[in-house]
Amino acid sequence: THLQHLATFDARHTAAINETAAQWDEFAKTIHARHAARTTSFKQYENRIRRDLPVLTQKERERWLGRQQLRRVQALALQKRGVQQIEETVDGLLARLTKAKDRLLVLLKATGERLDRKTLPQPNIRLALGDIPKRIEEIEAHAKNLEDQAGAGKSSGMFKMFSKPRVNLRELSLAVLDYETCLQELHAAREAAVAQLQADYDHTDALVTADWNRAEEMGEKYRTIMLRRLARQIPACHARNERLLARNLRIFEEQKADALAQVSGPLAQHRQHIIDQHEASMQAMRVAEQQRWTKLQAEWNQKVPPLLAAVEEIKQEAAAQLQPWDTTYQPHEMFPSAVRFGALKLDLSTAEAVFEKETPFNLSGHERIALPLTLAFPQEGSLLIETDDDGGKWVADVMNAVIFRLFTQSPPGKVHFTIIDAVGLGQNFAGLMHLADYEPALINRRIWTQRDHIEERLAELNEHVEKVIQMYLRNEYATITEYNEQAGSVAEKYQFLVIGGLPAAFTETAMARLKSIIMSGARCGVFVIIHWDHRRALP
């Protein structure tokens, strides 16, 4: 009978399906074996690093000690070169001073007189070695004047060779006294310079000694870093391995299903007569289904096209356009009403394929929708990023991108930032420090990381909000935007408080001040850009 024939066919069909499934199950074992091999290699790598870590740590200590030894050798060489340069300089100056002395003695001998010395040299021991050349030039000039005086004072004619030069003995005595004073000053300056070199070397040697004693600390620091790296990398490798296994198994299941479907295909022809028996009831079901589709299509036409049109209108707005980064920057004269910093993308291409195949619906070229993400001023100018971990590099990239968008789309000097990065110690925003080289006020001088500094900066922003409310807004303006439209060139600057890794380093006082800024800051031109790490409890 038909039922017996159908049962026989079903038995053969089941056997074919089981055979095909068994072949694919063998392939699945290969996938799991590769996964297990990768897992084993990760464990072997971790064990090898942990085994060799003491040796690596010792090498790090030795490298540290080698660097300190090099510092000491370099400092000693620098001292020796400095002393040599000082001696060469002193020798040259002493030679000049000796020549000047010889010229004075020649003059004294020519006069045939003796100096009456009543005054002892009183050297200025504060003179540096660089001041001595000027003193020697003065002595040489004095000697030159006395020589000129002696030459002009001789008799003329045949008595010239027998006459004595006329020299002011008092000036000559002063010149000799000046030479003796300068000689003592030269020796004092030399001793001071050599002593300074020795002091510099002693200071460096003390620093090297202190750092030398930190060898164990640096070795332990290296060991800690390596252990942290293992703690981060090995779980990440295992996670990637698990994702790869899941992907391979998903592809495997899809391919297995296709293979089983190909084996099961002939069953449809043998069961067609059963389908024919149900055609009448199925026709009734199709009529009811068509009625439901008609109703659904009417609802689609009523709601979806207007929604897509609204999306297009938003995308065409000027504030929604994301300007490219290039070198054709032109300063803006007015603060923008909105600043775009990204887009929310929705991929409906898979759903569109289903619509085209099975339904009368289509998305009219809107398979991929990108809604602009903007900061709108003054009421929606703040940004909060929430994560269940440190967020990784992408959080810092987003916050830096927002900051640079605000800089490039605002009038020069009309937007200032106060940046707090207690977790990264400023590393997450280090690129912004280049701005401080041109105008420190743009980023409030530096990136703040310490509790006391954070409280001080928040207090300053609270005072700024109070000042804006009491001095500018009063009862005349609802927001600082309205005030700035009237103020023109004296418009108040916009302030942005940027916080990375909230609530790290935040006290209860700091949180209270932050809350006040969030509640009242927007209308006063003070906005916040915050990354909130949910792992940390708020104070």
The DSSP secondary structure of 28-40, one letter per residue, reads: HHHHHHHHHHHHH
The token duo for 181 is: 């004073």
| Closest of 182, 187, 181 to residue 122, by C-alpha | 181
pLDDT the model gives residue 344: 82
Q: Which conformational region is residue 444 in: left (phi greater than 0), alpha (psi within -120 to 50 degrees), or beta?
A: left
Q: Is 384 helix (H, G, I), strand (E, B) or coil?
A: strand
Strand pairing class (526-533; 494-502): parallel
Residues 6+ apart with CB under 8 A from 335: 377, 410, 411, 414, 415, 481, 484, 491, 494
Q: Sheet containing 415-421: give its strands across.
A: 383-387, 526-533, 494-502, 415-421, 447-448
| Pair of tokens at residue 272 | 């067609």
Whole-number Cα distances in Å, 325 to 68, 339, 436 = 45, 14, 21
The CATH fold assigned to 377-533 is Rossmann fold (3.40.50)
How far apart are the C-alpha atoms of 129 and 88, rounded to whole Å? 12
Q: Give 10-residue mean pLDDT values along the chain (539 residues).
A: 60 75 83 90 87 87 90 91 91 88 81 68 81 86 82 51 61 81 87 90 90 86 87 89 88 83 69 62 74 79 76 64 72 84 76 56 69 86 92 91 92 93 93 90 93 96 96 92 85 94 94 96 96 91
77, with CB counted inside 10 A (0-12, 13-18, 19+), is: exposed
Predicted pLDDT of residue 77: 93
Long-range contacts of residues 512-519, Cβ cutoff 8 Å, at least 24 apart: 513/455, 513/458, 513/459, 513/461, 513/462, 514/458, 516/462, 516/465, 517/458, 517/461, 517/462, 517/465, 518/382
Residue 71 CA, chain-centre distance (Å), reads 30
Report the DSSP beta bridge partners of residue 420. 448, 499
What token pair was written down for 428? Answer: 């997450």
- Work out the burial of residue 313: count CB atoms within 10 Å of its CB; fewer than 13 is exposed, 13-18 middle, 19 or more buried: exposed
Rg of the chain (C-alpha set): 44
367 and 347 in contact (C-beta within 8 Å)? yes
pLDDT at 403: 94
Q: Can you read off the two tokens belonging to residue 433? A: 């420090």
Residue 340, by phi and psi: left (phi above 0), alpha (psi -120 to 50) or beta?
A: beta
**Cα–Cα separations (whole angstroms), residue 199 to 136, 139, 208:** 28, 32, 14
Kindly state the DSSP code that residue 163 receives in the 8-state scheme.
Answer: S
pLDDT value of residue 149: 80
Half-sphere exposure of residue 479, counting CA atoms within 13 Å on the CB side? 16
Characterise 450 by phi-psi region: left (phi > 0), alpha (psi -120 to 50), beta (else): beta
Q: What is the pLDDT of residue 29?
A: 86
Q: What angle do CA 106, 110, 112 make, to 5 degrees?
A: 120
The helix or strand, by DSSP H or E, that contains position 526, with its residue range, turns out to be: strand 526-533
Angle between helices 508-520 and 451-467 (to 10 degrees): 30
Report the predicted TM-score, pTM, of the whole model to 2 decimal places: 0.45
Q: Rounded to an integer, what distance in angstroms lies between the CA atom of residue 339 and that of residue 408? A: 10
Partners of 528 in the beta sheet?
A: 497
